[in-house]
Amino acid sequence: MSHSDPNCIFCKIVEGKIPSRKVHEDEEMIAFHDIHPWAPVHFLMVPKAHIPSMAQVGPEHAGVLGRMMALAPRLALEAGCQPYPAGGYRIVVNTGEHAGQEVHHLHIHVMGGPRPWLKG
């Protein structure tokens, strides 16, 4: 697996070649608003290393994925989700075409806000 794929839209966002509305960025990950949101709050968390999907995740990815999951609650609140238990958010990882994965670079959807949502 390479660190970057020159044909991947998320790799291009990571590299700054395509603009995004950033929610967070550090040395291992970037989070940005979805350009076609399904909910009032909808952003993506993406590891900077090119991992095609959850199906390719191994023990060497545990650190970055753990940090992404631990950061998601804070980012969700900062983006406008209301606190648990009355509020909340959904975390989704689509893996493969049957699951609806459209971009083959691992990404975590964080969605929340008042219902009804466009999808889900």
Cβ contacts of 48 within 8 Å, gap of 6 or more: 14, 27, 28, 29, 30
Q: Does domain 9-112 have CATH number 3.30.428.10?
A: yes
Active site residue 107: yes
Active site residue: 42, 50, 107, 109, which one? 107
Q: What are the tens digits of pLDDT across the range 35-50?
A: 999 999 999 999 999 9
Report, as an integer, the average pLDDT of 93-114: 97
pLDDT given at position 120? 63
Map residue 54 onto helix, strand or coil.
helix
pLDDT bin (cut points 50, 70, 90) of residue 116 is confident
